[in-house]
Structure 1
Amino acid sequence: MDFTDQRLSYEKGTLDQQSIPTSPFELLKVWMDEALAEKVQEPYAMSLATCGADNKPSVRIVLLREITETGIIFYTNYESAKGQDIAENPNAEALFFWHKLERQVRISGSIAKIDTAKSAAYFQKRPHDSQVGAWVSQPQSGEVASRDVMEQTFDQLQADYPDNSQVPVPAFWGGYEITIEQVEFWQGRANRMHDRIVYTQDSKQNNASWTTKRLLP
Structure 2
Amino acid sequence: MNHFDPAELRESYGRSPLRRSDLVPHPMEQFHTWFTQVHGSGVVEPNAMILSTVEPSGAPRGRTVLMKGYDSSGLRFFTNYRSRKGRALEADPRVSVVFPWHHMSRQVMIMGRVERLSDEENDRYFRSRPRGSQIGAWASEQQSAPVEGRAELDARYERMRHAWPDDVEVPRPAYWGGYRVHPAEVEFWRGSPDRMHDRFRYLLVEGEPSDGKWVIERLSP
What range describes the TM-score normalised by the shorter chain of this pair? Answer: over 0.9
Alignment partner, residue 213 of structure 1: 217
- Deviation at 1:205? 8.1
Counterpart residue type for residue 134 of structure 1: A
- Deviation at 1:18? 2.4
How many residues align? The count is 217
Alignment partner, residue 66 of structure 1: 69
Alignment partner, residue 129 of structure 1: 132
Once the two structures are superposed, residues 120-167 of structure 1 have per-residue CA deviations (whole angstroms, 9 ceiling, x without a partner) of: 110010000000000111211011111111111111111111233211
Q: In the alignment, is residue 161 of structure 1 matched against residue 164 of structure 2?
A: yes
Once the two structures are superposed, residues 71-123 of structure 1 have per-residue CA deviations (whole angstroms, 9 ceiling, x without a partner) of: 10000000111011111111001000111111000001011111111011100
> Among residues 52, 59, 80, which one is paired with 1:77 in the alignment?
80
- Secondary structure of the residue aligned to 1:200 is strand
Q: In the alignment, is residue 93 of structure 1 matched against residue 96 of structure 2?
A: yes
TM-score normalised to the size of structure 2? Answer: 0.95
Cα distance in 1, alignment partners of residues 212 and 168 from structure 2: 44
Counterpart residue type for residue 212 of structure 2: A
Alignment partner, residue 51 of structure 2: 48
Cα distance in 2, alignment partners of residues 177 and 96 from structure 1: 16
- Deviation at 1:216? 0.6
- Deviation at 1:59? 0.3
Q: In the alignment, is residue 29 of structure 1 matched against residue 32 of structure 2?
A: yes
Do the aligned partners of 2:105 and 2:191 also contact (CA within 8 Å) in 1?
Answer: yes
- Deviation at 1:4? 1.2
Alignment partner, residue 121 of structure 2: 118
- Deviation at 1:35? 0.7
Cα distance in 2, alignment partners of residues 208 and 100 from structure 1: 32
Which runs of 5 or more structure 1 residues have no equivalent in the other structure?
none
- Deviation at 1:204? 5.9
Alignment partner, residue 205 of structure 2: 202
Identity percentage over the alignment? Answer: 35
Cα distance in 2, alignment partners of residues 126 and 108 from structure 1: 28
Cα distance in 1, alignment partners of residues 47 and 7 from structure 2: 30
Cα distance in 2, alignment partners of residues 16 and 88 from structure 1: 39
- Secondary structure of the residue aligned to 1:47 is strand
- Deviation at 1:68? 2.0
